[in-house]
């Protein structure tokens, strides 16, 4: 250990670019984790969402394109087109205290919707990490059609 500590300053001096890159990567990872912590919603794995559904807790809102929704969606989920999504809608406002989980094909659109819900005052919001693609990859069943 002593030998390592005596050689460390020499190593750092000879590899400044490597050390700087390492520090930038570490700071980026810390920043990413801090932003995840304070964004106001959480990401669920498919298994965690299955547990919630089995307990009858969440309102699952699918933000996928209608064609993708009809090809396969989580049973019991409600389809809302991204262009029609309005967290201020009076019907959705009734669900402010419910657990709401947003879902889309790959997780990108549902993350935007979750941010809008948190901004509108919803307190119990989550997204399905990886979206329907992650659900399929976990070999979980999908319902087909409009309902």
Same domain, 53 and 91: yes
Whole-prediction pTM value?
0.75
For residue 129, give its domain range: 42-137
Q: What are the residue ranges of helices labelled H in 38-119?
A: 46-54, 66-71, 90-93, 108-119
User: Do the beta carbons of residue 78 and residue 26 sit within 8 Å?
Assistant: no
Same domain, 131 and 69: yes
Q: What is the CATH number of the domain that holds 71?
A: 3.40.250.10
pLDDT in tens, 55-100: 887 899 999 988 889 999 999 899 988 888 888 777 777 777 789 9
Question: Is a pLDDT exceeding 70 seen at residue 113?
Answer: yes
Same domain, 61 and 122: yes
Q: How many domains does the chain have?
A: 2
Same domain, 52 and 88: yes
Looking at the chain, the whole-number percentage of residues with pLDDT higher than 90 is 36
Same domain, 32 and 46: no
pLDDT in tens, 1-21: 778 888 888 888 888 999 899
Output the six-digit token pair for 36.
């995840």
- Sheet strand arrangement including 42-44: 42-44, 125-128, 99-103, 58-62, 78-79
Same domain, 25 and 53: no
Closest C-alpha to 48, from 111, 117, 101, 106 = 101
């Amino acid at each position: 250990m002593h030998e390592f500590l005596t050689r460390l300053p020499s190593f750092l001096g000879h590899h400044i670019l490597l050390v700087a890159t390492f520090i930038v990567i570490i700071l980026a990872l810390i920043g990413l984790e801090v932003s995840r912590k304070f964004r106001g919603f959480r990401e669920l794995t498919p298994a965690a969402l299955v547990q919630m559904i089995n307990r009858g807790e969440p309102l699952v809102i699918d933000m996928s394109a209608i064609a993708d929704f009809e090809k396969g969606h989580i049973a019991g989920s409600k389809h809302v087109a991204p262009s029609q999504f309005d967290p201020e809608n009076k019907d959705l406002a009734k669900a402010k205290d419910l657990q709401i989980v947003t879902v889309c094909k790959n997780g990108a659109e549902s993350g935007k919707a979750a941010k809008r819900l948190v901004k509108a005052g919803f307190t119990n919001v989550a997204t399905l990490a990886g979206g329907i693609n992650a659900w399929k990859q976990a070999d979980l069943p999908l319902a087909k059609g409009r309902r």
